[in-house]
Structure 1
Amino acid sequence: MTQELVLDAVVRQRIRSLRLARGWSLDVLAARCYLSPSTLSRLETGHRRIALDQLVPIARALGTTLDQLVEPVDDEDVVIRPQRDEARGTTTWTLTRADAAHGLTVARIRLDPGPVDDDGPLGVHPGRDWFTVLSGTARLRLGERTILVEAGQAAEFSTMVPHAVRAHGGPVEVLVILDADGGRSHLLPTAAGGEG
């Protein structure tokens, strides 16, 4: 089956699924998008070609956008694969796409413990960082302060304060929300000695 036919079938299923999720009959959706119920039925079942001038009012009536209705099916965006950064001793699962809304990045990060007395360099960048500890204990350095953040706790701080987050007493897993500057500073692979 060609990619165009697969997308066509997916669009038809999306229309039907969104209609049914709202509890609407063919008559209700047809009235909202100014099509006849029989035309809408033939569109959903594949007995009629879908025209762009039909998709726009259908998308609007269903409370979605044309882009969402026709976005391609791609298995690549379904599976989140971890990325290992040996220089930082981290494994990262980026949970948002590069084009996420508002430039925010959500990621799960596993930090492995390093040498006991080695906190490494403190980094600074514009913005704010936020994280919650999923397991273990994180050691947050903010300037001269050291704060232990345990599982179930969260931290949020200005990233203009020199900072670093490390594992304390064993591996730690955190869920982070970073703005664009934080994402560049914390998630892009770095050579040894970079900010973490």
Structure 2
Amino acid sequence: MNDQIKQIAQRIRELREILDVDAADLAKQVNVSVAEYNQYENAETDIPIGVIYGVAAALNVDPTVLLTGDAPRMSDYTIVRQGRGVSVERYKGYKFSSLAFNYIGRQFDPMIVDLDPMEKPPELVVHGGQEFNYVLKGTVQLVIGSREFLLEAGDSAFFNPMTPHGQRAVGGPVKFLTIINE
């Protein structure tokens, strides 16, 4: 497992223990089995971004604390220069770059997602809130439930992420903006 996932898992465990929250209770709150939760907390498997956000909400911290170990500091505005967002590799072939990580109390998270082409269909995930995707470069296969859509540069989708969904690059690398409200 890569170092970043190990660090995130360690932060989750430490914070959960400091707050005296039982792992089984936290697993229930983020809607995963105890066994699955333990795999995340022990850095045995990648932690889906939706689980990170769910854990952050359950432990009443900003997701940035779990992702970076540092709390957001800005309350009126924040500027993120090109290429300087907090990068998170959540799944093989996916790279997320958070664009508002330093803003206190944000109600949604804009992120740039870079996808490498993959042969297999995308892994489907679920999380709370609402999600918006805007394709900046390339072609994305977006799966929402049993439906599949091909989105090209300039296309967008807004959907309920409680419906299992996933994205896959088609024909080459893809870059898209996603905004998630949890």
Normalised to the residue count of structure 1, the TM-score between the two structures is 0.47
Does residue 88 (structure 1) correspond to residue 77 (structure 2)? The answer is no
Residues 95 and 102 of structure 1: CA distance in aligned 2, closer, same or farther (over 3 Å): closer
Say which structure is richer in helix.
Answer: 1
2:157 aligns with one of 155, 158, 169: 155
The CA RMSD over aligned residues, in Å, is 2.8
CA distance in 2, matches of 1:105, 1:92: 11
Stretches of structure 1 that go unaligned for 5 or more consecutive residues are 1-66, 181-196
Residues 86 and 162 of structure 1: CA distance in aligned 2, closer, same or farther (over 3 Å): closer
Query: How many equivalent residue pairs?
Result: 107
Q: CA deviation at 1:109?
A: 1.1
Residues 109 and 121 of structure 1: CA distance in aligned 2, closer, same or farther (over 3 Å): closer
Match of residue 164 from structure 1: 166
Q: CA deviation at 1:90?
A: 2.0
Provide, for residues 71-100 of structure 1, a one-character-per-residue CA deviation record: whole Å limited to 9, x for no partner: 9xxx9x657156262733122221112545
Say which structure is richer in strand.
Answer: 2
Residues 152 and 159 of structure 1: CA distance in aligned 2, closer, same or farther (over 3 Å): same
Q: CA deviation at 1:107?
A: 1.1
CA distance in 2, matches of 1:135, 1:120: 18
Residues 120 and 166 of structure 1: CA distance in aligned 2, closer, same or farther (over 3 Å): closer
Match of residue 146 from structure 1: 148
Q: CA deviation at 1:132?
A: 0.4
Provide, for residues 86-136 of structure 1, a one-character-per-residue CA deviation record: whole Å limited to 9, x for no partner: 733122221112545542111111110112xx1243111222100100010
SS in 2 for 1:168: strand
Which runs of at least 4 in structure 1 moved beyond 3 Å after TM superposition? 98-102
CA distance in 1, matches of 2:136, 2:154: 6
CA contact (8 A) 1:96 1:106 kept: yes
Normalised to the residue count of structure 2, the TM-score between the two structures is 0.51
